[in-house]
Chains A and B, each alone.
Chain A
Amino acid sequence: MNKVVAGPDAALDGLQDNMTLMVGGFGLCGIPENLIAALVRRGTKGLTCISNNAGVDDFGLGLLLKTRQIRKMISSYVGENDEFERQMLSGELEVELIPQGSLAERCRAGGAGIPAFFTPAGYGTEVGEGKEAREFNGKMHVLESWLRADFALVKAWKGDRFGNLVYKRTARNFNPMMAMAGKITIAEVEQLVEPGELDPDLIHTPGIFVQRIFQGSAYEKRIEQRTVRKRA
């Protein structure tokens, strides 16, 4: 079993125009930097991107917005990106905003083979419009469907050639669910280790969900809001 590929460009083999991608990360934390850069080089267009956020103007998915490679974004929060806002308001970019918990669960459901589920989030709002609603325990819920993707691009801290992954701190976020929901899931990791080096009890994403893996390089890990306190 060897899922290791040469690098980010080789990893994207088969990714075509108009496909649907999931891209892990929360803000710029835990995003697959190497794969996003390779997507820019590849120039694939008409993409539908499912990702909690849309990056910033010059980093993360913002890079793919700048090159107009994204046709549609499915996200929960897109606040920090002027180019995004411009493309959305001008109608160049299609945007579907969905509650963050529903986004996470829809990805999980996609990976777990559950086509739909009821959640209270969004009932009585624009998000619930046109969706089946049903009462459970005296409370209204809306039916949300699974999300699945042609490719899921995730970032982990450590991984092995079986595709087992361990994430670091809050860089975990959406990566585990998206890894489950990709037809082809590509993991870029900071450290590619030998099978057996990762403690089986502590693996976050079991390798069965991952089809391709490589060790990324030159991680920038940009911080959006650098907040600190003074030493006493």
Chain B
Amino acid sequence: MGLTKEQMAKRIARELRDGYYVNLGIGIPTLVANYIPEGMNVVLQSENGILGMGPFPYEGEEDADLINAGKQTVTLLPGSSIFDSATSFAMIRGQHVQLTVLGAMEVSDNGDIANWKIPGKMVKGMGGAMDLVASADNIIVCMMHANKAGESKLLKQCSLPLTGVGCVKKVVTDLGVFDITPDGFKLLERAPGVSVEEIKAKTEGRLAVQGEIPEMVV
């Protein structure tokens, strides 16, 4: 079966720590904001120039001058600040942001990531992804384990143009949680009802399985 998008977001939220400044990418990573544990102080950074981003506005209160990096209307929380793009990427490049969560098309077992271009098909651009992955200490990739054609996205080597090299630390997919180690994708947790064999079969890159792999609590 595997995890739903919401369950993936919920699992990633367990990686948050009190006092973290966090940048959440477009798509499933954005959902992580819905599962910040009660009482935990986490400040969301949006690379177009917000610290302290709040939820979507109530209907009728949308402000065209207040959007997130996905161009969605958002709100500001008390204590928020606004800044220009150079300052925003100073926060990112300067490693002042503690956690980055982003989606990917491919990840390799040495931590390379590809998520900005499919030659001849799709060229939307990298946006802030290259700056984020090159600089962040703590990068979690959140993506489906296989693409729509059923092919593994956890590879020996990325086939698409790279966004960054050797930078991903952790991968959360619908099937499991993996650390990137010198031995490849180290399986830490399985999604409920998903066997190690299924994960092995659906992982093209090197997979390290040591001992009993616990089922994730979601």
Contacts and interface: CB of A to CB of B under 8 A. Distances in A.
B127 interface: yes
A2 interface: no
B55 interface: yes
B82 A169 contact: yes
A28 B65 CA distance: 9
A99 B162 contact: no
Given A99-B130, A122-B130, A222-B64, A227 B72 contact: yes
Nearest to A52: B85
Interface stretch (A8-16, A62-70, A123-131): A123-131
B62 A100 contact: no
Nearest to B135: A120
B159 to A, nearest CB: 14
Interface stretch (A42-50, A171-179, A193-201): A171-179
A117 to B, nearest CB: 10
> Which of B48, B57, B74: most chain A Cβ within 10 A?
B48
Contact of A78 (B49, B62, B124): B124
A224 B71 contact: yes
A35 B164 CA distance: 37
A230 B60 CA distance: 11
Contacts of B59: 228-231
A125 B62 contact: no
Contacts of A107: 86
Size category of the B interface is 35 or more
B191 interface: no
A172 B56 contact: no
Contacts of A173: 48-49, 84-85
B182 to A, nearest CB: 17
Interface in A4-59: 26-30, 52
Contact of A101 (B55, B62, B128): B128
Contact of B93 (A52, A89, A120, A175): A120
A26 B67 contact: yes
B98 interface: no
Contacts of B48: 26, 29, 170, 173
Given A125-B130, A126-B162, A221-B64, 4 more contacts: A29-B64, A125-B162, A169-B66, A231-B59
Interface of A: 26-30, 52, 75-80, 85, 88-89, 95, 97, 99-105, 107-108, 119-127, 157, 168-177, 204, 221-231
27 contacts: A26-B67, A52-B85, A76-B126, A95-B123, A100-B128, A100-B130, A101-B47, A105-B86, A105-B89, A119-B134, A124-B162, A124-B166, A126-B117, A169-B82, A170-B46, A170-B50, A170-B67, A170-B82, A171-B65, A177-B84, A221-B65, A223-B73, A227-B62, A228-B61, A228-B62, A229-B57, A229-B59
